[in-house]
């Protein structure tokens, strides 16, 4: 979505003129919005100029406060529709950790990759087997999950299981679980292992839940960005019923992923001589990170 469209939509839904919004923004954060005039808002809405992501973050905070939603003015219960609304433009590369994201020398957008939902997909078993191999290589027994559990969880329509493929080749995956808040909290506090999750721990689409990032891997930064796109579309689609997002990991580069998602370290424990860390964030905070804003409002330049 173009930020210009988003700004105008939110302003009009609040019933504010550009003058009134200018005044309200100054009262909300006088440091960031000092010197912003109605003419500035007009230029932003007409795409004559674009605010910095620092100001976009402050605008998001303002709209979150007024609408009481993590991503106000984007209302859909369908992740595919959310992705369509969000991504009218190509995204810049967002994430480049060396182990979770390889750096193959190809431009995936030029070779016809496909982002697939694994539920009921004919290659699901094959990709879940590969995922399990990758998962076990970077997880301790405390954070490890068996292939049979992945196969069970993939059937739950509230969970997100997506992969990127090209012809017969696997390029990346991202799996996330929708858990009841108390079950999510128990895992983040190390009171429950992922392997111990039962059917009653999962939240339905229409129930309040929290999104637990289970697996992530990509063979190029571009593929990683496409997976981020689907992840954020999932969060936007279910924002009205989602409380938090987070994960537990002993993997060193998980810290980079946590920073990108705007998660803070909330606890740690020891497992087989390794330190296992928990990361979490309220969805309101997670959707104001620069990464989230770049997915929601991709743009070539910031001013």
pLDDT per residue as tens digits for the range 7-41: 999 999 999 999 999 999 999 999 999 989 999 99
| pLDDT higher at 204 or 135 | 204
Predicted confidence (pLDDT) per residue in 152-168, tens digit: 999 999 999 999 888 77
Do 14 and 134 lie in a common domain?
A: no
Q: Is 217's pLDDT higher than 80?
A: yes
Single pTM value for the model? 0.89
Q: Is residue 271 part of a domain?
A: yes
The reply to whether 80 falls in a domain is no
For residues 171 and 277, membership in a common domain is answered with: yes
Q: 10 Å Cβ neighbour count for 89?
A: 12
Whether residue 73 is contained in a domain is answered as: no
pLDDT of residue 301: 40
Residue 303 lies inside a defined structural domain of this protein: no
Residues 17 and 123 in one domain: no
Pair 47, 152 in one domain: no
Query: Is residue 302 domain-resident?
Result: no
From the list 137, 211, 122, the residue with the least C-alpha distance to 174 is 211
Kindly report the backbone phi and psi dihedral angles of residue 194, in degrees, each rounded to the nearest multiple of 5, phi listed first: -55, -40
Q: Check residue 156 and give its pLDDT.
A: 94
Statement to judge: residues 98 and 49 lie in one domain: no
Q: Does residue 292 sit in helix, strand or coil?
A: helix
Domain identity same for 102 and 7: no
The answer on pLDDT for 101 being more than 60 is no
Is 78 contained in some domain?
Answer: no
301 within some domain: no
**Residues 155 and 276 occupy one common structural domain:** yes
The domain in which residue 164 lies consists of 86-296
81 falls within a domain: no
**Is the confidence at residue 108, as pLDDT, over 50?**
no
Task: Report how many domains make up the chain.
Answer: 2
The interaxial angle of helices 221-237 and 79-86, nearest 10 deg, is: 120
Q: Residue 141 sits in a domain of what CATH number?
A: 3.40.630.30
Considering the domain architecture, whether residues 120 and 267 belong to the same structural domain is answered as: yes
pLDDT digits (tens, 9 = 90+) for 38-84: 999 999 999 999 999 999 999 999 999 999 999 999 988 888 888 88
Q: Which residue among 36, 67, 98 closes a domain?
A: 67
Instruction: Tell me the CATH number at 7.
Output: 1.10.260
90 pLDDT band, cuts 50/70/90, is low
Do 147 and 278 fall into the same domain? yes
Domain co-membership, 110 together with 155: yes
11 & 150 share domain: no
Neighbouring residues of 242: CB distance < 8 A, sequence distance ≥ 6? 70, 178, 208, 209, 210, 211, 235, 283
pLDDT (0 to 100) of residue 75? 87
Q: Which stretches of the chain are DSSP H helices?
A: 3-14, 18-28, 30-33, 38-45, 53-67, 79-86, 108-111, 124-137, 147-153, 181-188, 221-237, 254-261, 283-286, 290-296
- Do 93 and 58 belong together in one domain? no
With 0-12 / 13-18 / 19 or more C-beta atoms within 10 angstroms meaning exposed / middle / buried, residue 283 is buried
Query: What's the whole-number mean pLDDT along residues 112-131?
Result: 86
Cα 251 from Cα 187, distance rounded (Å) = 16
């Amino acid at each position: 979505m173009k930020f210009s469209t988003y700004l105008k939509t939110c302003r009009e839904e609040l019933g504010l003129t550009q003058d009134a919004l200018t005044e309200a923004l100054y009262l909300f954060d006088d440091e960031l919005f000092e010197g912003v005039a109605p003419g500035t808002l007009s230029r932003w809405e007409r795409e004559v100029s674009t605010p910095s992501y620092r100001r976009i973050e402050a605008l998001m905070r303002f709209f979150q406060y007024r609408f009481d939603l993590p991503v106000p003015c984007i209302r859909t219960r369908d992740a595919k529709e959310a992705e369509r609304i969000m991504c009218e433009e190509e995204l810049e590369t967002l994430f480049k950790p060396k182990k979770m994201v390889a750096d193959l020398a190809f431009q995936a957008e030029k070779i016809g990759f496909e982002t697939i939902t694994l539920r009921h997909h004919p290659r699901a078993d094959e990709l879940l087997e590969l995922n399990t191999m990758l998962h076990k290589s970077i997880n301790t027994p405390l954070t490890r999950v068996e292939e049979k559990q992945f196969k069970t969880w993939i059937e739950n329509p509230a969970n997100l299981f997506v992969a990127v493929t090209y012809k017969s080749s696997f390029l990346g995956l991202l799996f996330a679980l929708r858990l009841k808040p108390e079950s999510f909290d128990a895992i983040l506090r190390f009171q429950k292992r992922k392997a111990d999750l039962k059917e009653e721990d999962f939240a339905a689409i229409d129930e309040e839940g929290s999104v637990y990032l289970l697996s992530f891997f990509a063979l190029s930064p571009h593929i990683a960005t496409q997976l981020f796109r689907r992840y954020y579309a999932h969060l936007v689609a279910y924002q009205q019923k989602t409380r938090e997002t987070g994960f537990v990991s002993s993997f060193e580069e998980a810290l980079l992923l946590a920073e990108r998602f705007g998660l803070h370290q909330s606890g740690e424990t020891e497992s087989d001589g390794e330190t296992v860390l928990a990361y979490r964030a309220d969805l309101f905070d997670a959707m104001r990170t620069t990464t989230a804003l770049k997915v929601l409002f991709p743009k070539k330049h910031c001013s």
